[in-house]
Amino acid sequence: MSDKKVRVRFAPSPTGPLHMGGVRTALFNYLFAKKHNGEFILRIEDTDQTRFVPGAEEYIIESLNWCGLTPVEGPGIGGEFGPYRQSERKDLYKKYADQLISSGWAYYAFDTPEEIDALRKEAEANKETFSYGIGTRENLNNSLKLSQEEVQQKLTSGEAYVIRFKMPEDTDVTEEDLIRGSVTFNTTKSLDDKVLFKSDGMPTYHLANVVDDHLMKISHVIRGEEWLPSMPLHVLLYKALGWEATKPRFAHLPLILKPVGKGKLSKRDGDKMGFPVFPLKWTDPQTGDISRGYREDGYFPEAFINLLALLGWNPGTDKEFFSLEELGELFSLERVVKSGSRFDPEKAKWFNKHYFQEKTVDELALLFKPVLKEKGVEAGDEKIAKVVAEIKERCEFVSDLWDQSYYFFEAPESYDEKTVSKRWKEDTPGKLSEISVLFESVSDWKAEAIKEAFSAFMNEKEWGFGVVMNPLRLSLVGGNMGPDLFVICELLGKEETIKRIQLAIEKIG
Ligand code: GLU
């Protein structure tokens, strides 16, 4: 690597919620910066006013914060190279577009959107695609074709124009991609004359992106594969602007693929199969449509980061669990693969389970408390911690805690019918009544002591254990689930245990 200071940027456009692929791009940039003691920057690319979505920028920032991917420079943070929102840098780009015109690398085009549309339709009718550039530009309404006077007259009369890049003819543009190796594009075969500057006075993505990467001293451009076709234009722009010597290195990340079938992971895959593709919940400001988020679905950011890191990168070992810090030490672009990586929603859950199990009982109890509060349950810290300790192993998500433990906090309102018909016999109420009398006499209400008293009583009566244990469990929890029965008794408390036995006798009869 060159001795240039590593400065990387995540440059999203605020056009909607950030897809998990976008978060992975941010993550890989962040990790690359960490690995090389560099700087991770956030730049908001909002020059396309027609695609601006309110709330999207806030969403992006909140997502990065949730994941712990905090930039050192960015909107709201500041930095030496600000502002970091392109709309606030608006006035800065025109001079570069003008410079490109003077040096012959760009030209004015006066064609109206309607004219371009007509050309497109005409080409379509001939089963061709219209492209503005080599082979067509000579005959269109632009400064390459018009005389200098005509151009000047149009400009002074305020006619709307765009500035287009003048693609050099039949040139091979070759660039080394840090993931893909050497990539070559031929200008005549694959590149049109992209608009650099729009009639609304704003630069397009291409111009703003290159100018800002240059001005912000970006050393490496790490972004999604969908931007690979833009690379030759960007490379030529560096050349045209005289910035070749400090041009950043490029790395294009592979796609994240659908769990089944072909193509890029989309929101629809998530909707169909029941998993989120966005980091946080998103409410579309226009339609009110809600998209689920990893955070709201109960994922820990550690799990989300870990699973994203392994989509396209691998450590070269079998190790699968990494903290953000470990990733920052291990990450390298050489270990990023070229081909897309399939997303596995089951594996995502598996990661969450791991981080769930890593948490201490006290940490989980703290996360469980607001859930209980929402359910209107009042319970002491000690009981909550004990319940969590009992059921932790069966859970993957904080939300599982309630599903696995609600009966510790509320008496059953109904009883599982199957269990009733299988386990509740005619003599069950009588037996359970005797058990509740026995329980009254247990003075040290601890699982061990309850079990001891129970066993002695059962032996004396010569009753089969299952004959009593199963309906007893049914009375206490409403079904045949849960941990050790005597632990349940202890946690419910003596009074509640006896109350539930009476209730079951009354209700089931
Ligand atoms: N604004 C572009 C995006 O939305 C940035 C692409 C790049 O990183 O150059 O992804």
- DSSP at 336: B
Q: How far is C-alpha 168 from the geometric centre of its chain's CA atoms?
A: 40
**Beta-carbon-side half-sphere exposure of residue 175 (alpha carbons within 13 Å):** 25
Sign, Cα dihedral of 169, 170, 176, 178: positive
For residue 9, the ligand 1 atom closest to its alpha carbon is 8
Mean of pLDDT values over 119-123: 96
For ligand 1, atom 5, the nearest C-alpha belongs to: 11
Residue written as tokens 């109350």? Answer: 499
For ligand 1, atom 2, the nearest C-alpha belongs to: 12
Q: In a 3-state reduction of DSSP, which class is residue 207?
A: helix
Q: How confident is the model at residue 4 (pLDDT cuts 50, 70, 90)?
A: confident
Q: Enumerate domains of the chain plus CATH numbers.
A: 7-74+210-257 (3.40.50.620), 92-197 (3.90.800.10), 267-355 (1.10.1160.10), 360-402 (1.10.8), 417-508 (1.10.10.350)
Residue written as tokens 């509060």? Answer: 373
pLDDT at residue 253 tops 90: yes
Q: How confident is the model at residue 261 (pLDDT cuts 50, 70, 90)?
A: confident
Q: What is the pLDDT of residue 197?
A: 98
The contacts of residue 373 (CB under 8 Å, 6+ apart) are none
How many angstroms is it from 377 CA to the middle of ligand 1?
47
In short, whether 265's Cβ falls inside 6 Å of ligand 1 is: no
Task: Give yes or no: 267 in active site.
Answer: yes
Residue-wise pLDDT for 20-43, tens only, equals: 999 999 999 999 999 999 999 999
Q: In a 3-state reduction of DSSP, which class is residue 223?
A: strand
CB 401 within 8 A of CB 368: yes
Q: In a 3-state reduction of DSSP, which class is residue 270?
A: helix
Cis peptide before 429 (omega within 30 of 0): no
CB 353 within 8 A of CB 300: no
In short, whether 206's Cβ falls inside 6 Å of ligand 1 is: no
Cβ-based neighbour number of residue 114 at 10 Å: 8
Which of 30, 227, 228 best tests ligand 1's pocket when mutated (most atoms within 8 Å of CB)? 227
For ligand 1, atom 3, the nearest C-alpha belongs to: 12
For residue 234, the ligand 1 atom closest to its alpha carbon is 9
Q: What is the pLDDT of residue 450?
A: 98
Which of 221, 223, 225, 255 best tests ligand 1's pocket when mutated (most atoms within 8 Å of CB)? 223
The contacts of residue 142 (CB under 8 Å, 6+ apart) are 107, 108, 109, 110, 111, 164
In short, whether 350's Cβ falls inside 6 Å of ligand 1 is: no
Q: How far is the CA of 5 from the CAs of 8, 79, 214, 238, 508, in angstroms?
A: 10, 16, 13, 19, 75
In short, whether 11's Cβ falls inside 6 Å of ligand 1 is: yes
Mean of pLDDT values over 389-394: 96
Share of the chain above pLDDT 70, in %: 99
Give the integer Cα–Cα distance in Å for 437 and 459.
Answer: 16
**Cα dihedral value 428, 432, 434, 437, nearest 10:** -170
Mean of pLDDT values over 429-451: 97
Mean of pLDDT values over 78-95: 97
Residue-wise pLDDT for 102-117, tens only, equals: 999 999 999 999 999 9
Give the integer Cα–Cα distance in Å for 305 and 320.
Answer: 12
Give the integer Cα–Cα distance in Å for 22 and 34.
Answer: 18
In short, whether 15's Cβ falls inside 6 Å of ligand 1 is: no
Give the integer Cα–Cα distance in Å for 300 and 364.
Answer: 12
**Average pLDDT, rounded, for the chain:** 96
In short, whether 225's Cβ falls inside 6 Å of ligand 1 is: no
How many angstroms is it from 206 CA to the middle of ligand 1?
9
Q: What is the pLDDT of residue 496?
A: 97
Q: What's the start-to-end Cα distance of the chain, in Å?
A: 79
Q: How far is C-alpha 75 from the geometric centre of its chain's CA atoms?
A: 20
How many angstroms is it from 43 CA to the middle of ligand 1?
9
Q: Which of 90, 145, 264, 267 is catalytic?
A: 267
Q: How confident is the model at residue 2 (pLDDT cuts 50, 70, 90)?
A: low
In short, whether 13's Cβ falls inside 6 Å of ligand 1 is: yes
CB 385 within 8 A of CB 361: yes
Q: How far is the CA of 175 from the CAs of 182, 235, 249, 252, in angstroms?
A: 6, 8, 9, 12
For residue 11, the ligand 1 atom closest to its alpha carbon is 5
Q: What is the pLDDT of residue 163?
A: 98
For residue 15, the ligand 1 atom closest to its alpha carbon is 4
Residue 169's φ and ψ, nearest 5 degrees, are: -80, 145
In short, whether 44's Cβ falls inside 6 Å of ligand 1 is: no
Mean of pLDDT values over 452-481: 95
Cis peptide before 113 (omega within 30 of 0): no
The residues that bridge with 182 in the sheet, in sequence order, are 176
pLDDT at residue 1 tops 70: no
